[in-house]
Amino acid sequence: MRAEVGLLLRRRISEVAAAALVASGAATARDVEEILADPDPYVREKGVAGFQSMTDSAAVRRLVARAFADTAPIVRFRAVAFYARRLRPTDGCAPLVTAARDVEAHVALAAIDALNPCRADPVAVALLDSLAMR
């Protein structure tokens, strides 16, 4: 019982510390990378929020790809939202098309919703058409 409480406390402390570091705007790419390596998905979710303050575009793209491949749906969901806001205009819709096929419904639905501006992307349009015809 005591070990379980200790584990829960460690997880909560890690989550709050990650959230505070990210909210301060002081998180570096290395900090965000470490947060994304945490075993707790709710800590890793905070790492995705850290993408917003990063200025190194290559690091952002690398870490977003990592978040899209995360095992936790909450991390993938946050990655979809970030990608749609910040990277879709320059990097296109392909990652969102892939995420629209996610096994978790809320991740897939977020990606489908984010495909709205992708009218010029034939793959995105074909996917949306196929979904509308079901």
For Cα atoms 65, 69, 70, give the angle at the middle one, nearest 5 degrees: 115
- Cα distances from 26 to residues 73, 111, 112, in angstroms, run 26, 29, 32
- Reported pTM: 0.90
Q: What number is the average pLDDT over the span 96-122?
A: 96
Dump pLDDT digits (tens) for 48-70. 999 998 989 999 999 999 999 99
Rounded to an integer, what is the distance from CA 1 to the centroid of its chain? 33
d(CA 76, CA 125): 22
Confidence of residue 7 (pLDDT cuts 50, 70, 90): confident
Q: What number is the average pLDDT over the span 108-120?
A: 95
pLDDT recorded at residue 49: 94
Identify residue 54 by its one-letter amino acid code. M
Two structure tokens written together for 36: 């994304």
Question: How confident is the prediction for the chain on average, in pLDDT?
Answer: 93
pLDDT recorded at residue 11: 87
For CA atoms 57, 62, 64, 65, the dihedral sign is positive
Say which residue the tokens 């900090």 belong to.
Answer: 31
Q: What share of the chain has pLDDT > 70, as a percent? A: 99
pLDDT recorded at residue 1: 67
pLDDT recorded at residue 22: 93
